[in-house]
Amino acid sequence: MYYVVTGAAGFIGANLVKALNGRGENNIIAVDNLTHADKFRNLADCDIADYLDKEDFFDKLEEGFFDGLLTAVLHQGACSDTMESDGRYMMKNNYRYSLELLNYCQNEEVPLLYASSASVYGAGKVFRESREFEAPLNVYGYSKFLFDQVVRRRWSRRTAQVVGLRYFNVYGAREAHKGRMASVAYHFFNQYRAEGHVELFEGCDGYADGDQLRDFISVEDVVKVNMHFLEHPGKSGIFNLGTGQAQSFNDVAVATVNALRAAQGEGALTLEEMRRQQLIRYIPFPEQLKGKYQSYTQADVGTLRAAGYDEPFLDVEQGVARYVNYLLGAST
């Protein structure tokens, strides 16, 4: 029997493969698209049974090659670029691909855990898993929203576990390949090491400089929640996956800089001290993001807690410090 991880060479997918290895699971089919070949590095320290291009994988599904052979599918594969303007590509890659996989898993009674996104909420201020709060701002968010809607419509007819996890702002190990779409923690780390300061957006939407708020969650916690649902196949639903506590971009910058300072034997500084020393600077808010930017997100995690997940989440100070130490180790 095999686990399938789609998007396996990507950020969250590779962390899930590594976590499955940690549970003694090596019978893993890694599915991805290695057009950007450097992503292979994310799997170099993982053990898998086979790698398949996503198109080859679907051909094999249609042939019945995997019938009766799958334990569960962890579907992480998607285009996650919120600035992608090719709507046809986005809908084919994110929506239609997911729909075909759902159909297969339900027909074969295979558990499906898939990546949704907090982008489905758009500019709203309430982040609860309910239709009235969902209004995506871009086609990426719409592709995730539409698939969630299909899952809801089929809810009463499901034959196996279906879990949709609406990821908020995830940061952590194995995201380097994402380039400009990598987390702010990753960019702050590299910018501070290269230039001795970090740059944040000036204020927007009524927020002061760097004070826009997001629910930043460590990939370590994302993995734990996925593993929780694998361990509880009777639990299904669409769940927010954030910490439940919004923190500012300033908080991420301070945590990153102080973790790097600590590694150099230097003392911690406050935000105001960093501003005075020009360690934190602010740049104009990009025109192309106006009207398409979430200045505030905070997951309502009540549904997740009600499903039995009771582990604490890392806050920015804890999670970013751990991530910086990981990056420092990876760069030596």
Residues marked as catalytic: 140, 178
The answer for 68, left when phi > 0, alpha when psi is -120 to 50, beta otherwise, is left
Residues near 321 by Cβ (< 8 Å), separated by ≥ 6? 255, 258, 259, 262
How far separated are the first and last CA of the chain, in Å rounded? 38
The residue assigned the tokens 């009777």 is 234
CB atoms within 10 A of CB 240: 26
**Cβ proximity of 261 and 267 under 8 Å:** yes
Amino acid type, 158: R
Classify burial at 32, counting beta carbons within 10 Å of its beta carbon; exposed 0-12, middle 13-18, buried 19 or more. Answer: buried
β-strand pairing of 213-214 with 247-248: antiparallel
What's the CA gap between 66 and 68, in Å, rounded? 6
Classify burial at 306, counting beta carbons within 10 Å of its beta carbon; exposed 0-12, middle 13-18, buried 19 or more. Answer: exposed
Task: Calculate helix-pair angle for 97-108, 54-63, nearest 10 degrees.
Answer: 30
**Cβ proximity of 92 and 79 under 8 Å:** no
β-strand pairing of 198-201 with 280-283: parallel
Determine the longest span between alpha carbons in the chain, in angstroms: 64
What's the CA gap between 305 and 283, in Å, rounded? 38
β-strand pairing of 198-201 with 247-248: unpaired
Upper half-sphere CA count for residue 45 (Cβ side, 13 Å):
9
